[in-house]
Amino acid sequence: MKIRFWGVRGSIPSPGPNTVKYGGNTTCIEIRTDDNELIILDAGTGIFALSQALLKEMPVAANVFITHTHWDHIQGLPFFIPIFIPGNTLRLHGAFDPVSGRGIEQIMEVQLQYSYFPVREAEMKAKIEYETLMPGQSVQIGSATITPTLLNHPVINFGYRIDCNGKSVFFTGDHEPYYNIYAPGDEGYEEYRMLIEDKEKSIIEAMRGVDVLIADSSYTTGEYPSKKGWGHGTFDSSIAMAKKAGARIVYCTHHEPTRNDEALEREFEKVLALHPREGCGPECRLAREGEEIEI
């Protein structure tokens, strides 16, 4: 499999001279199977540059897996150029939304209204298909198996595991480690602790032994207390998760939009000093827009 990062920034695009090295586009990851099937994880602003690159290989059959429907993970969809061109296919996969009572089809329906965008879905020339997924329900895309896992975020968020010919990738989307909402000694504390442990175990098992773990690492441990409940992880929590799961490489992504390249590297160096690689533990890297790796 090949993995390419087209967007690694969190919350809002932050292009400019201070984010040139790691990039300012929001989340989008391209996966290519050994048979060149196209899988796209999230459709942040990074998907626009990806779509331009895809124009060289039309007709395009793109399977896009949405982790969740916050803007920074879907705002590039209307600018995915192949959907304007006949002969292409966009298959959009994602979760059922219990708030609206709708499936993944609502993403395009909401964004492509004349109030917000000049072209309606009915005017798109490509074939657009939708598949609403359930946790643990695997989808086969050619030689690849994609399995969604429910993670912790203020809205329904799927992490996706992709398995293909003995290689594997897991992407968390946005994920905050579970924490107990009760204080020690409160009624309900112990019951909630056991619930959290069960959820954490199921998540670790879902990413067990992956070659590459791509994880939400928005904050430092010092920043986290003021961001608690916002639905994002830290560098430290991502590395700890990778160690528990036995991942070979962990990419820290969803970079805080106010953190420039220099500050990002500085904070990451501090984290690496606290968590040196031991034995066959995971190699830790910062996700960088434009980087491509093969596993």
Q: Residue 112 has which token pair?
A: 């492509």
Give the CB-side neighbour count of residue 43, counting CA atoms within 13 A: 25
CB-based contacts of 38: which residues, under 8 Å, 6+ apart? 30, 31, 32, 54, 60, 61, 62, 63
| H or E element in which residue 214 lies | strand 212-216
Estimate to the nearest angstrom the gap between the alpha carbon of 62 and the chain centroid. Answer: 17
Q: Can you tell me which residue has the tokens 């430092």?
A: 220
Distance CA 26, CA 36 (A): 24
Cβ atoms of 286 and 22 within 8 Å: the answer is yes
Distance CA 261, CA 86 (A): 40
What's 12's DSSP letter? S
Number of C-beta neighbours around residue 173 at 10 A? 27
Cβ atoms of 166 and 145 within 8 Å: the answer is no
pLDDT of residue 99: 87
Q: Which residues pair with 251 in a beta bridge?
A: 214, 285
What's 119's DSSP letter? S
Q: Which residues pair with 39 in a beta bridge?
A: 31, 63
Number of independent structural domains in the chain: 1
CB-based contacts of 181: which residues, under 8 Å, 6+ apart? 192
pLDDT of residue 280: 83
Give the CB-side neighbour count of residue 267, counting CA atoms within 13 A: 20
Give the CB-side neighbour count of residue 122, counting CA atoms within 13 A: 2
Q: Which residues pair with 194 in a beta bridge?
A: none
**Which pTM value belongs to this model?**
0.96
The residue type of 257 is P
Query: Three-class SS of residue 95?
Result: strand
pLDDT of residue 79: 97
What's 21's DSSP letter? T
Residue 177's CATH number: 3.60.15.10
Q: Can you tell me which residue has the tokens 């590459």?
A: 212
Cβ atoms of 74 and 107 within 8 Å: the answer is yes
Range of the domain at 273: 2-294
Kindly give the confidence (pLDDT) of every residue in the chain, 295 residues in length, as a single tens digit, with 9 standing for 90 and above: 999 999 999 999 999 999 999 999 999 999 999 999 999 999 999 999 999 999 999 999 999 999 999 999 999 999 999 999 999 999 999 999 998 899 999 999 899 999 999 999 989 999 999 999 999 999 999 999 999 999 999 999 999 999 999 999 999 999 999 999 999 989 999 998 999 999 999 999 999 999 999 999 999 999 999 999 999 999 999 999 999 999 999 999 999 999 999 999 999 999 999 998 888 899 999 999 999 999 9
18-25's contacts with Cβ under 8 Å and 24+ in sequence apart are 18/260, 18/261, 18/262, 19/260, 19/261, 20/261, 21/261, 21/288, 22/255, 22/261, 22/264, 22/286, 22/287, 22/288, 22/289, 23/288, 23/289, 23/290, 24/257, 24/289, 25/49, 25/289
The residue type of 211 is D
